[in-house]
Chain A
Amino acid sequence: AQSVTQLDSQVPVFEEAPVELRCNYSSSVSVYLFWYVQYPNQGLQLLLKYLSGSTLVKGINGFEAEFNKSQTSFHLRKPSVHISDTAEYFCAVSDSNYQLIWGAGTKLIIKP
């Protein structure tokens, strides 16, 4: 069965600094990968997705992620974070039954 691991439960970073949120998944023949963002007291919103093609995927709000098949990773990055990026970020993979398998989430904490 598929599994998703988000290696950090919290990531503190200074405003305007770069950030990387890590996500690893168990290998599969083919995967569809997602990052969702959850702002405080809100539902989840799709940030970006990898379906096929270019391994570098760009999403909303300046975020991007790189699919690395050999390392079974899909890390999320942003070159310069803002206070408005404070949120919890979830990585997910679509399994063969078209269910989404979720990571435990990473809280991004922006320090002024």
Chain B
Amino acid sequence: DAGITQSPRYKITETGRQVTLMCHQTWSHSYMFWYRQDLGHGLRLIYYSAAADITDKGEVPDGYVVSRSKTENFPLTLESATRSQTSVYFCASRSLGSSYNEQFFGPGTRLTVL
């Protein structure tokens, strides 16, 4: 019963490098989400996906790329990391049948961009 996992849990990188954060869920949930959490901002939606090969922008998508070739995986890529992308990143999922949008969260990835 793994649920939703994220890797790595901690990552330090340098400005300009490409970084990919992984998210994997074992529930076969249709929807998956990426959020970033920063002090004073709560959670902000970066991208979401309604199903494999269907993705859409959230509130703060600039500088990020996502893909979803398989239902269970939803990687988030920072193509050229910037210091402003230092944050804690959370992946979440919910089932298609959840009409009220209860989401289940991974443990998070703490990313530091130097």
Contact = CB atoms under 8 A, between A and B. Distances in A.
A99 B100 contact: no
A25 interface: no
Contact of B102 (A43, A49, A103): A49
Interface string B65-103: 000000000000000000000000010100000011111
Contacts of B105: 36, 43-45
Interface residues of A, number: 21
Contact of A49 (B40, B99, B100, B108): B100
Contacts of A83: none
A63 interface: no
A17 interface: no
A13 interface: no
Given A42-B107, A104-B40, A99 B102 contact: no
Given A43-B107, A45-B105, A49-B102, 14 more contacts: A6-B42, A9-B40, A32-B100, A36-B105, A43-B90, A43-B108, A44-B92, A51-B100, A94-B101, A99-B48, A100-B103, A102-B44, A104-B40, A105-B42
Interface of B: 40-45, 48, 58, 90, 92, 99-108
23 contacts: A6-B42, A32-B100, A32-B101, A36-B105, A43-B105, A43-B106, A43-B108, A44-B43, A44-B90, A44-B105, A46-B102, A49-B100, A49-B102, A94-B100, A98-B99, A98-B101, A99-B48, A99-B58, A99-B101, A100-B101, A102-B44, A103-B42, A104-B42
